[in-house]
Structure 1
Amino acid sequence: MSIARFPVKALALGAVLLASCCGIASAAAPSKDASGLPVPRFVSLKSNHVNIRKGPGQDYPIAFIFVRAGLPVEIVQEFGNWRKIRDSEGDEGWVLHSLLSGRRTALVTPWQKDGTMALHRTASDADQVVAYLEPSVMTVVDKCSGSWCLVDGTGFRGWIEQERLWGVYPQEKVDE
């Protein structure tokens, strides 16, 4: 009777290779953190006064304060009940999860300093323009098709090209 024998080093090397392959596969999958939700993802601020800290805890100093409820932010990391967020200007800090909302909002072309963006009656450049929105106007995102988003705000409602918004990912579909 023949028994297959492998040296211990060969088995150890095989285990390391298998573990590293599995690690690579899981790294390519969408990341889920403490909440079990995908990271990164967009959320919004719940209140008009949100302390942003330098680390994940009350003992860390306040780096800056947001004073605009509904402002869209991107969660880029989670640690327990703390979320590391990034704003449209790229500033990052930590906030307690209870100060964030799943309500989707977006800013119109915050990277532009001037000009306006057309808001259409339907998801088509050829359709009627119902409003022109200035850079950094905050909108509530009702839904996105992957190329157009239906948004509304004080005194306006209509469709805007998705690439003109900060608060939704390219080709992301949103159904609120």
Structure 2
Amino acid sequence: MLPGKTIVESEWWERMIRSNMKLGVSLVAAVTLALLSLGSGASAQPVVGGVIGASGLPVPRFVSLKSNQVNVRRGPTVEHQIAWMFKREGLPVEIVAEYENWRRIRDADGAEGWVYHSLLSGRRTAVVAPWDPGKLYELHSDDSDNSRVTASLEAGVLASISRCTGSWCRLSGSGFDGWIRQDRLWGAYPGEKFN
């Protein structure tokens, strides 16, 4: 109890302090909630995990590099340091998050960084089994193991994907065209279907 205060005044002060503390906690919670709700806008925070991103497209998704020189940054601004540079046009990458006009991408090795959206293309490409260097994979005339083998592709070959059935994808590249099992590609999700 403060000196010179009666018990009644002291109880009143304690109630006021408790009441103001509750108000303060409520105010902090309300402000935090308001800031979080403002921050959940499409251009305010990266969007991850099977949702619609700032672009209006699903995240995650596969795309390809539009240029043979693409800077990958440590964060989603030009002020962020360049972590590395891709030097292979058409290489498939996975968009795992979006922030305004920036896309957080992942490559076949699992490395992640930020790229400006205009350096990416919606054209679908794939790398044949990058996790298994030196191995050969059969390309078939149809989407069946029983169909004729049209080529053998070495792991690491880059190709365009024109279609996936959910278990097979149609690939084409320099001197080859045919079907390969979908689980042998980096650039298409297991079970994904598209034309």
Taking structure 1 as the reference length, the TM-score comes to 0.82
**2:52 corresponding residue in structure 1:** 32
| Residue pairs, 1:26-175, within 5 angstroms | 30-175=50-195
Give the Cα separation in 2 of the matches to 1:48 and 1:114. 24
| Residue identity opposite 1:66 in structure 2 | F
Deviation digits for residues 119-174 of structure 1 (CA, Å, limit 9, x no counterpart): 00111111110000001100100000001011100000000000000000000001
Provide the aligned C-alpha RMSD in A. Answer: 0.9
Deviation digits for residues 35-64 of structure 1 (CA, Å, limit 9, x no counterpart): 111000000000000000000000001000
Structure with bigger gyration radius? 2
Write out the 4+ residue segments of structure 1 that deviate beyond 4 Å after TM superposition.
none
**1:9 corresponding residue in structure 2:** none
**1:18 corresponding residue in structure 2:** none
| Aligned residue-pair number | 147
| Residue identity opposite 1:73 in structure 2 | V
Shift of residue 30 of structure 1? 3.5
| Residue identity opposite 2:53 in structure 1 | D
Deviation digits for residues 3-26 of structure 1 (CA, Å, limit 9, x no counterpart): xxxxxxxxxxxxxxxxxxxxxxxx
Taking structure 2 as the reference length, the TM-score comes to 0.74
Give the Cα separation in 2 of the matches to 1:152 and 1:61. 36
Give the Cα separation in 1 of the matches to 2:184 and 2:178. 13
Report percent identity of matched pairs.
58
Q: Which runs of 5+ in 2 are unaligned?
A: 1-48
